[in-house]
Amino acid sequence: MQLISGIVSNNAAKVRMVLAEKGIPYETIEVPWTKANAWEPKPQILLEHNPRAEVPVLLDGDLTLWDSTVINEYLEDKYPTPALLPTDPEQRALARLWEDEGDHLQTQIVVLIQDVFLATPGTALSDRGQLAQQALQDFVERLGEQLQDKDYICNEFSLADISVFMTIAFAQTLGVAVTHTGVTAWFERMLARSAIGQEFQAIMAGVAALN
């Protein structure tokens, strides 16, 4: 099994975390990212295997998959232990919904990357940046409500937690204040999981090394 990945890709990180949680061995094909050129020039192997030319891409024998949600659900089906979706149909549906919420908010993360990470230090947020920051702040509050009396978003650790964790992690590094006690406790609980914590450290090291 091979994963075409990028260390600073939110979506690729989701798949790496699932592979680590399930203990699935794989080989990484790294696609570099730079501040100046983002993912360009994209390597031929990525262009050959994904018509969208995006990471991640999973190569499993003759099977080629892209889109992190599709990949993770495939891994869940093929390697059902440990389970990363609840068995209860309602909680399973909610886990998929929250997983999609994490993905949906990446559009706001992209805006803040442009306004904060790639901007000249001291540059004020644009109107779009302020709206993105507010959308993420509102999401933190909704997440806090969902986490009341729960260790994880849908009671059991699931794909939802992985997707939302990546959104919250990126949001915090881009200046979104996460002070809700339920969310901060959940975030620390996530970091305490070796698969999540180690991957998060690798991402932060990758970001720090960017040119």
DSSP assigned state of 117: I
Superfamily the domain 2-78 falls into: Glutaredoxin (3.40.30.10)
**Cα distance between residue 194 and residue 20, in whole Å:** 9
Q: What count of other Cβ atoms lies within 10 Å of the Cβ of residue 46?
A: 20
For 16-40, the pLDDT digits (tens) are 999 999 999 999 999 998 888 888 8
142-193 confidence digits (pLDDT tens)? 999 999 999 999 999 999 999 999 999 999 999 999 999 999 999 999 999 9
Give 89-208's CATH code, choosing from 1.20.1050.10, 3.30.420.40, 3.10.310.30, 3.40.50.2300.
1.20.1050.10
Residue ranges of the chain that CATH labels 3.40.30.10: 2-78
Task: In whole angstroms, give the CA distance from residue 141 to residue 35.
Answer: 31
pLDDT in tens, 145-158: 999 999 999 999 99
pLDDT of 120 over the 90 cut: no
Q: What are phi and psi of 56, to 5 degrees?
A: -90, 160
Sequence-distant (6+) residues with CB within 8 A of 166 are 10, 13, 14, 102
pLDDT(88) > 80: yes
Helix (H) or strand (E) holding 196: helix 194-208
Residues of the chain with CATH 1.20.1050.10: 89-208
**Coil vs helix vs strand at 33:** coil
Residue 211 has pLDDT above 80, yes or no: no
Cβ contact 67:57 at 8 Å: no
Residues β-bridged to residue 103 = none
Q: What are the backbone dihedrals phi and psi of residue 76, each rounded to the nearest 5 degrees, phi first?
A: -65, -40
Q: d(Cα 22, Cα 58) in Å, to the nearest integer? A: 15
138: enclosing H helix or E strand: helix 127-146
Question: What Å distances lie between residue 143 and 52, 102, 167, 183, CA to CA?
Answer: 31, 10, 11, 7
Provide CB contacts within 8 A for 198, sequence distance 6+: 20
Quote the tokens at residue 51.
């018509």
**Residue 102 banded pLDDT, cuts 50, 70, 90:** very high
Average pLDDT over residues 38-57: 94
Q: What is the band of 121 on the pLDDT scale with cuts at 50, 70, 90? A: confident
